[in-house]
Amino acid sequence: MAWQTLLYDRDGHVGTVTVNRPDALNALNTTVFAELSELFSEIAVDPDVRVIVLKGAGEKSFVAGADIKEMTGMTRQQAEARSWTGMRLYDQMRRMPQPLVASIQGYALGGGMLIAMACDIRVASTAATFGYPEIRLGIFPGTGGTVLIDRLIGPAAARAICLLGDRFPAERAYQLGLVNRLVEPGLLVAETADVAATLAGYSPVAIRELKSVLNASLELDFATAREVEIDAYGRAFESEDRVEGTTAFVEKRKPDFKGR
């Protein structure tokens, strides 16, 4: 399929999705939202893909936010509809059976920081810049962005990020736990590949079930989330991959997981 705003490439078990609007610093317009949703739906049922890397085209930006130019003439109804579209996309990403790794160079602002947070792991270059500048535009991260950052990094830091609208460097994002691995710009590609290879080597069944529990923990109350955990654990436990994993340990060899 030829995408207008994306590039997609699969190398072995790793699918790489690139938001490809470098002239607009990869800002998320309606077409990007629609195409990402369609592409992720296709990848979700592709058994050859075990890990998804999300990145932005060019050196300067991961994603500089929602497309402000497109937003200018919107009515409240259109804005709310777009908020739902964005929210559904971020939910879809979190619920993908495969883990998503955001590979972040340059700007990750507004909807760009949010789409990175909808990924499971964030690898960033020390040259990356984060922030929620929406308050400067007379809005706020209204696509689930305020709620999600609050859950991910805690209310005190989240509140300041949302209210002040400051841009902050990758080092600070790393201190906050928003970035999981931080490397010099020249090492971003290699570090991303390393994380992707690690994840691709694990059981896709265990990863899928684990993600469902982490999502439940984010979205549900404690007691219900634990019930989800027991169920998911049971499903992982009865997989062929679990037999392979434990047998490989006993036989002192590397497991060869099949995703069943």
Residues 129 and 168 sit within 8 Å (Cβ to Cβ): yes
Strand partners, 167: 131
Position with the least CB separation from ligand DAK: 110
User: Binding segment for ligand DAK among 43-51, 66-74, 178-186, 198-206 (CB under 6 A)?
Assistant: 66-74
Build a one-symbol-per-residue string for 19-58: x at contacts with ligand DAK by CB under 6 A, - elsewhere: -----xx-x-------------------------------
128 binds ligand DAK (CB under 6 A): no
211's CB contacts (< 8 A; 6+ apart) are 94, 95, 96, 97, 99, 120
Interacting residues of 241 by C-beta distance below 8 A, sequence separation 6+:
203, 204, 205, 206, 255, 257, 258, 259, 260
Residue type, 90: Y
Which alpha helices (H) appear in 74-144, and where do they start and end?
A: 76-94, 111-117
Closest CA to 64 of 117, 111, 121: 111
Distance CA(150)–CA(133), nearest Å, equals: 16
Considering only 86, 144, 204, 255, the residue that binds ligand DAK (CB under 6 A) is: 86
Interacting residue with ligand DAK among 6, 52, 109, 188 (CB under 6 A): 109
Among the listed ranges 116-124, 134-142, 205-213, 241-249, the one in contact with ligand DAK (CB under 6 A) is: 134-142
Nearer to ligand DAK, 140 or 233 (CB): 140
- Cβ proximity to ligand DAK, 66 vs 183, nearer residue: 66
Interface with ligand DAK (CB under 6 A), residue total: 24
Instruction: Find the binder of ligand DAK among 55, 82, 122, 208 (CB under 6 A).
Output: 82
Residue number, 64 or 216, with CB nearest to ligand DAK: 64
What is the C-alpha R_g of the chain? 19
| Residue 67 sits in the site that holds ligand DAK (CB under 6 A) | yes
Distance, in Å, from the CA atom of 51 to the CA atom of 197, rounded to the nearest integer, reads 8
Q: Per CB under 6 A, does 69 bind ligand DAK?
A: yes
Site for ligand DAK, rule CB under 6 A: 24-25, 27, 64-69, 79, 82-83, 86, 107, 109-111, 133-134, 137, 139, 141-143
